[in-house]
Structure 1
């Protein structure tokens, strides 16, 4: 394995270990938190959509994610999958 490949692999492992999409941060979520508080905890969402005062935002990918539903920018419900 070349030095460049080894460095790239090491970087990927470090970045994966630093992910904010984990069980510890999921357990810190609470109903009623503001959208700003959630984004401070989890970072910028991967995607958001909404209508009529309701918003749904997701962090992560199809295998490991946290999804938060807001009503008037306050956490209404949240769920997660594949968290470690």
Structure 2
């Protein structure tokens, strides 16, 4: 048996395990958390946009995502889609 297919399978498993956009981390989000605390939990956001002191940041992609709205530096509300 070749080492290459085994290494590829191991890499895929590791990458899937490293995904921070999941139900377990979503459950840890709380209103009032700072943006720094959210980034420590989920990593850097995929995208952020804001106006008038409200910022909306998204982690993940179209299939699995977490969206967090911040008022100033604190979580105002959040939602998730396709989390496992």
Partner of 1:57: 57
TM-score normalised over the length of structure 1? 0.89
Q: 5+ unaligned residues in a row in structure 1: which ranges?
A: none
Count of paired positions: 84
Q: Using the TM superposition, give the Cα deviation of residue 7 of structure 1 relative to its aligned residue in structure 2, in angstroms.
A: 2.5
Per the alignment, residue 83 of structure 2 pairs with: 83
Separation (CA, whole Å) in 1 of partners of 2:8 and 2:64: 22
- Gapped runs of 5+ residues in structure 2? none
TM-score (norm 2): 0.89
Aligned to 2:13: 13
RMSD (Å), alpha carbons: 1.5
Give a deviation string over 1:17-51, Cα, whole Å, max 9, x none.
22111111100000010000100111100111111
